[in-house]
Amino acid sequence: MKNSGPLLLYRGFARLAGPALARWLLQRRAARGKEVVERLGERFGQSSRPRPAGKVAWLHAASVGEATSLLPLIEALRAQCPDVGVVLTTGTRTSAELMAKRLPAGATHQFAPVDTPQAVGAFIDHWRPSLYAVVESEIWPVALGVAKARGLKTALLSARMSAKSARGWSYAPRSIEALLSSFDAILAQNEGIADRIKSLGAPPARVMTAGSLKEAAPPLPCDQAELDYWRMQLSGRPIWLAASTHEGEEACIFAAHLEIAAARRDAFLVIAPRHPERAETVAEVASAAGLRLVRRSEERPPTHAENVLMVDRLGEMGLWYRLAQATFIGGSLVPVGGHNPLEPARLGAPMAYGPHTENCREECERLEAAGGAARLAPTTAAVVAEMLALIGPDGWPTEAAKARSEAALSVADQGRGALQRHLDVVVSLIGAGSEDRPLEGSGDHAAA
């Protein structure tokens, strides 16, 4: 990797002070329940699983949404190349818990090594991957530098670069050019992103428009027996879902439910906090609003007096999107940036969200243009009005809800070719790598 002033400073700091700083920060995160204490060694490259025989692909994603988008690619790769193992790294507890349930055979989850030469080098020493591929915008300078120094092929998958980010990087042109030039392949989500990436110095021959992996994903799975059970338990009740909510949103959601319940007899709310570890806090907010809540982890149906179900575990959103007559996507009433609206769109869920959708701006714009979603003001009144427009007095979807469902499905169907384009590139790069590469460097695993 070429050096520039900011990159030299970053890499020098990562080498000298990074390990101590990372240890301190991870201990603080562990104290707050944000790290798995018994797996902290993985953060320093101390892998907890054996390396499989044959070639290995190292894929990295930030958290739940990005990791989930990789699942179809991992499954397709394992089907086409069963002798290639996959190690998927992420940085959050929630993503680790979900991947433990959903990764296919032959794929292993590890927590991502911190971005220091020592941790990344130890990780590569153990796994000896042929490919290092990251998703969307998860570019870690040290990891990329160490990977290139060891001769790994590198790829940026489902690449995302907003106009705002591109403007920011324009103030460090040599740094971003050095980083982007270190990828053997960059698969942009759309032409606009591809143009931005090339304008920042990526070699044009290595950039292609491949679509978004989030658009290529299949519908979220669902246990049919569970769906039948809950439909029976909540039969005749108007059901709406508040998905992926964050701190500062639940009070608005619960206030809205009180008004919805007054307008729609026996209305029932399913609320799924983005981070299930916040369950106790969410329950307290519900109690303060005068609502009685049952937790999913209690493994029992609600009583008639309980008109809120809190989903306090991961991996079930396919069930609740199918069950609800209307859906609100959280992370959007507060400046979190929103969450992937294509997951409910693939299931035809009539949806709405608040104004803060920076993380999924293009997907939301396409859905809104097609009539597949609505953007709301960040108020209780707006949420109430929209949910009542989608849930009829009899508890069945309104005509507006049916039209929105059809439009959402049509938008979700547009990304089917993205998976094959990504798979072709990944297979090609793995084939160009060495199966059992010798270990290069020693000591602190110096990066190039």
What is the per-residue pLDDT for 432? 61
CATH number for region 5-211+417-432:
3.40.50.11720
Six token digits for residue 268: 């029932």
Residues 110-160 have pLDDT tens digits of 999 999 999 999 999 999 999 999 999 899 999 999 999 999 999 999 999
CA nearest neighbour of 328 among 278, 386, 391, 396 = 386
374 membership: H or E segment, kind and range = strand 373-375
Distance between CA atoms of 89 and 134, rounded to whole angstroms? 9
**In a 10 Å sphere around its CB, with 0-12 CB exposed, 13-18 middle and 19+ buried, how is residue 256 labelled?**
buried
Residues 191-249 have pLDDT tens digits of 999 999 999 999 999 999 998 898 887 889 899 999 999 999 998 899 999 999 999 99
The pTM (predicted TM-score) of the whole model is 0.68
List CB contacts of 397: < 8 A, sequence separation 6 or more: 325, 326, 350, 390, 391, 405
What is the per-residue pLDDT for 5? 74
CA nearest neighbour of 163 among 190, 189, 192, 135 = 192
What is the per-residue pLDDT for 354? 97
Six token digits for residue 194: 């591809």
Distance between CA atoms of 56 and 311, rounded to whole angstroms? 36
Distance between CA atoms of 276 and 326, rounded to whole angstroms? 22
CA nearest neighbour of 66 among 92, 101, 47 = 92
Q: Is-same-fold flag (5-211+417-432; 224-413)?
A: yes
Q: Determine phi and psi for 287, rounding to 5 degrees.
A: -60, -40
List CB contacts of 137: < 8 A, sequence separation 6 or more: 159, 160, 161, 165
List CB contacts of 147: < 8 A, sequence separation 6 or more: 120, 124, 132, 154
What is the per-residue pLDDT for 48? 82
Distance between CA atoms of 207 and 338, rounded to whole angstroms? 27
pLDDT along the chain (448 residues), means of 10: 73 85 90 90 92 96 90 95 97 91 94 95 97 95 95 96 89 92 96 95 96 85 94 92 97 97 94 95 96 95 92 94 97 95 95 94 92 96 97 87 96 84 96 49 38
What is the per-residue pLDDT for 4? 65
Residue found by looking up tokens 């709310």 in the block: 269
What is the per-residue pLDDT for 440? 38
Residue found by looking up tokens 């059992």 in the block: 436
CATH superfamily of 224-413: Glycogen Phosphorylase B; (3.40.50.2000)
Six token digits for residue 215: 């658009």
List the chain domain ranges: 5-211+417-432, 224-413
Tell me which long-range contacts 203-212 makes (C-beta under 8 A, separation of at least 24). 208/421, 208/425, 210/158, 210/418, 210/421, 210/422, 210/425, 211/158, 211/415, 211/417, 211/418, 211/421, 212/69, 212/158, 212/363, 212/415, 212/418
Distance between CA atoms of 448 and 435, rounded to whole angstroms? 21
- Encode 95-113 in three state secondary structure: HHHHHHHHCCCCEEEEECC
